[in-house]
Amino acid sequence: MRRAVVGWVFAVATAGVLGVAVVDLPREGAALPHIARQAMTVALPDWRTTEPVSEVVYGTRTFDTFGETFLLLAAVVSVLLLARHRERRHDYFGEEEAGQEEQRYQNPGDEPVGPTERTARAADTREDDDAAANAGEASAGRPETPDAEPVGTAAPEAAQGMTVVVRVAIRWVLPVLAVAGGYLVVQGYSPGGGFPAGVVLVGVVLLVYAGFGYRRIARLVRPGPLEVLELIGALLVIVVLALGLALKGSFGANWLPLAPEQTFRSGGTMQAFSVAELIEVGTGLTIVIFSFLAIRHDWTPANPDAADSTQPGGDGEDSR
């Protein structure tokens, strides 16, 4: 196996070179580098914050964080562009029709499909009662919300919600998580800031989705409002940083009056930047995740015989 040999030789060689290089890195006894000491001494007098990491993120390395924010935005835009083919754009979910259209275009004539494939497609149709609800149809005897399902029923695979245990646990955990996320961004002196807080809030959205189904958050998690919100976050970042340039003469300089440390407003523009970052990261990651969840059409094999074979679907079944 030439690939394995070459790959492992190269990997071991990389490890050797890096290992030699790493021995000379500063160890645990080394003095703090100059830039770190500068960040520590600047945090309290200049920004009135007791949190040097946040100070470095939103103060000393403002421009870097600015670039990072827009790198994330670029990634969100790329994911959106790649994940959506030519669907109508009113929802993350419910793109199946567009996929079926494409499928029909790719294999015209609509050959008969095998039993495995039929089962899979039937399960897909059952699962897709969001689309049915949107179209105003009755959703196949399923209750409106998972909470309305009688306790103790054998949950079908297509069940929208989790069991009552999971749902109750999520109900208890959600407010705690949401408050923790808000706390991370609101308290400027606590370790955290916009990035972790945004990710925590994405976790809240995902928990609701996992426990209660998409319909519970469908009003919130839609491309329209989310994308607008994300761009508002990006715009806020630009405005906050550019006002520093306009008022104080340098990009990202603090132009807000400094409040006493360990209050909501301590840190000046750091806090504003952090909040803008929260909006940007929270909405951006939500958009990315739900775009992924929405990619689900077009997985049927092109060759209908492949669906009948006993092998599970995987690599290399296609004869082309």
Neighbours of 224 (CB within 10 A): 10
Question: Shortest Cβ distance from residue 201 to other proteins (Å)?
Answer: 15
Question: Shortest Cβ distance from residue 280 to other proteins (Å)?
Answer: 11
Whether 59 and 248 have beta carbons less than 8 Å apart is answered as no
Cα torsion angle, 200, 202, 203, 208, sign = positive
Output the CA–CA distances (angstroms, integers) from residue 142 to 118, 128, 150, in the order listed. 21, 12, 11
Q: What angle do CA 184, 189, 192 make, to 5 degrees?
A: 35
Amino acid at 245: L
In the bound state with other proteins, the residue whose beta carbon lies nearer, of 53 and 239, is 53
Question: Shortest Cβ distance from residue 167 to other proteins (Å)?
Answer: 28
202, exposed or middle or buried, with CB in 10 Å at 0-12, 13-18, 19+? buried
Question: Shortest Cβ distance from residue 115 to other proteins (Å)?
Answer: 21
In the bound state with other proteins, the residue whose beta carbon lies nearer, of 182 and 313, is 313
In the bound state with other proteins, the residue whose beta carbon lies nearer, of 160 and 274, is 274
In the bound state with other proteins, the residue whose beta carbon lies nearer, of 30 and 148, is 30
Question: Shortest Cβ distance from residue 60 to other proteins (Å)?
Answer: 8
Q: Which of 185, 181, 200 is nearest to 265 (CA)?
A: 185
In the bound state with other proteins, the residue whose beta carbon lies nearer, of 14 and 250, is 14
d(CA 268, CA 254): 6
Q: Residue 17: in which H helix or E strand, if any?
A: helix 2-22
274, exposed or middle or buried, with CB in 10 Å at 0-12, 13-18, 19+? buried
In the bound state with other proteins, the residue whose beta carbon lies nearer, of 31 and 135, is 31
Question: Shortest Cβ distance from residue 231 to other proteins (Å)?
Answer: 17
For residue 5 the two structure tokens come to 């040999």
Question: Shortest Cβ distance from residue 191 to other proteins (Å)?
Answer: 7
Whether 87 and 298 have beta carbons less than 8 Å apart is answered as no
318, exposed or middle or buried, with CB in 10 Å at 0-12, 13-18, 19+? exposed
In the bound state with other proteins, the residue whose beta carbon lies nearer, of 195 and 209, is 195
In the bound state with other proteins, the residue whose beta carbon lies nearer, of 276 and 285, is 285
Q: What residues line the site for other proteins (CB under 8 A)?
A: 3-4, 6-8, 10-12, 14-15, 18-19, 22-23, 25-33, 35-37, 39-41, 43-44, 50-53, 55-57, 60-61, 64-65, 68, 71-72, 74-76, 78-79, 82-83, 189, 191, 195, 281, 285, 288, 291-292, 295, 298-299, 301-302, 315-318, 320
Output the CA–CA distances (angstroms, integers) from residue 276 to 146, 190, 200, 233, 317, in the order listed. 35, 17, 15, 5, 48
Neighbours of 205 (CB within 10 A): 20
Question: Shortest Cβ distance from residue 198 to other proteins (Å)?
Answer: 10
Question: Shortest Cβ distance from residue 243 to other proteins (Å)?
Answer: 23
In the bound state with other proteins, the residue whose beta carbon lies nearer, of 116 and 145, is 116
